[in-house]
Amino acid sequence: METDKKLVALSICLVCIGVLAGALIMSGVHQTLHEEGSANISFTVGSVHATVTFYKDGVKVFEQYHAGYVTKLGLNVTFAKLTGNSSAYNVTQYTLNNTFVSIGNQGALTTDSVVLPGEWNRTSASMHDCVYNSFNLTAVFTGTVGSQTADCIGVNFQNGIGNNALFAYDTFAEVTNIDSTFTITVEFKISGS
């Protein structure tokens, strides 16, 4: 009986020592994170996918879907939004939202691009299907009087054709002779991980 009491007391002491050691370790980790300012947390804009559909007089004449690209400006604005530090990422647009979609031609784009080449329209997009790691943007364009050509689309931080605010883009097979009989629907899905 006396041995059982000593065994229980020893077990309780060992548990207390373990809890105390764990608390000291966690306190040290918390202090390190507080002092170092880093928890090695990674964030990635996981993917950008786009679908572009052209209708002529209400009849679908073209549709294409595939992965797009996030620009360096887009990544920098994302990091500025996460950190609240626009000067570290050399961006002024970090307070703006990705709610404008553009269309252009001569789509020679790279991740260094800040505007679509040959951009001929930029309009507000509706945001929908917002879930824990993604959202969709949809915009509808109507053709203009005269004839246009298109082969690239983009997501932008601000309105205004030619404003250097390109977050992401996609290219597609060139469509020519776009006139006022055309309606163009563009949908972007942006995911994070």
* Residue given tokens 């507000």 in the structure block: 124
pLDDT value at position 25? 29
What would the mean pLDDT of 149-168 be, rounded to a whole number? 91
The pLDDT score that the predictor gives to residue 46 is: 67
In this prediction, residues 141-161 reach a mean pLDDT of 89
Tell me the sheet residues that pair with 139: 186
Q: What percent of the chain has pLDDT over 70?
A: 72
Task: Choose between 181 and 95: higher pLDDT.
Answer: 181
Neighbour order of strands in the sheet with 166-178: 69-70, 166-178, 148-156, 100-104, 121-124
Per-residue pLDDT reduced to its tens digit, 69-122: 999 888 888 777 777 777 776 676 666 777 899 999 986 899 999 999 999 999
pTM exceeding the 0.85 threshold for the entire prediction: no
In a 3-state reduction of DSSP, which class is residue 86?
coil
Pairing of strands 59-67, 126-131: unpaired
Average pLDDT over residues 37-50: 64
The string of DSSP codes covering 18-84 is: HHHHHHHHHHHHHHHHHHH--------EEEEEEEEEEEETTEEEEEEEEE-EE-HHHHHHHHHHHHT
